[in-house]
């Protein structure tokens, strides 16, 4: 779990996303997988690996949350798997065009990305509810900030309010990193506890 989150966070840098030479003016991460892009094959392979790792992480989420409430293990495990399929595997398999409705594969790409991001938002919402129930106020505040930041970032990405290409690129990366943060911190704490225990 930690490994795949670190891979996703570092992806823009390994793909030279913020470099004109590396990205050829790609504004969104998805555009790195377009035909003719210098990092197309590397990007697609990266996303296939990450999608598979998220799916393989589903049992960890199941075990981690199975005792929280009825079906909670299945819920968390399913959501992280849905994210891996939607936002990673479908991103790799279906090229993004000039917009969501440019062609059928752009539409499938956008659909997968939307479902995946929705699954990640749902994980954070469930974590926030659990934190409230357990009176974990500091953790609840962090989760609330991440959830609101994710919703705001996603909203801004879908509007025309921001026109600067670099700002859009940075916003998309921040949007994803904010959504990753709570699950990353949980996996980090569990790994730390496991290390101390052993």
Smallest CA-to-CA distance from 75 within 124, 144, 26, 142 is with 124
As a residue count, the chain comes to 198
Task: Say whether pLDDT at 123 is over 70.
Answer: yes
Q: What is the mean pLDDT of residues 61-82?
A: 92
- List, in sequence order, every beta strand (DSSP E) within 146-192: none
Give the pLDDT of residue 21. Answer: 52
Q: What is the mean pLDDT of residues 102-126?
A: 90
16-30, 123-137, 174-188: range with lowest mean pLDDT = 16-30
- Name the percent of the chain lying above pLDDT 70: 94
Q: What is the mean pLDDT of residues 59-81?
A: 92
Cα separation of 78 and 84, whole Å? 10
Smallest CA-to-CA distance from 55 within 1, 118, 113 is with 1
Give the pLDDT of residue 47. Answer: 94
Neighbours of 26 (CB within 10 A): 25
The encoded tokens of residue 121 equal: 């938002």
The encoded tokens of residue 125 equal: 């919402």
Smallest CA-to-CA distance from 6 within 186, 144, 181 is with 181
Task: Say whether pLDDT at 20 is over 90.
Answer: no
């Amino acid at each position: 779990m930690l490994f795949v989150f670190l891979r996703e966070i570092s992806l823009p840098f390994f793909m030279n996303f913020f470099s004109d030479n590396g990205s050829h003016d790609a504004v969104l991460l998805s555009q790195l997988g377009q035909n003719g892009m210098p990092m197309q094959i590397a990007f697609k392979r990266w996303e296939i690996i990450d999608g598979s790792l998220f799916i393989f992480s589903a049992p960890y989420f199941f075990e981690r949350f199975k005792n929280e409430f009825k079906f909670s293990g299945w819920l968390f495990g399913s959501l992280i798997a849905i994210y891996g399929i939607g936002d990673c595997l479908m991103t790799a398999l279906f090229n993004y065009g000039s917009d969501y409705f440019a062609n059928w594969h752009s539409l499938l790409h956008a659909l997968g990305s939307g479902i995946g991001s929705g699954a990640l938002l749902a994980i954070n919402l469930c974590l926030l509810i659990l934190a409230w129930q357990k009176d974990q106020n500091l953790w609840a505040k962090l989760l609330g900030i991440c959830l609101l930041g994710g919703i705001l970032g996603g909203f801004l990405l879908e509007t025309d309010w921001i026109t600067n290409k670099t700002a859009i690129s940075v916003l998309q990366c921040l949007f994803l990193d904010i959504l990753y943060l709570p699950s990353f911190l949980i996996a980090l704490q569990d790994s730390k506890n496991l290390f101390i225990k052993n």
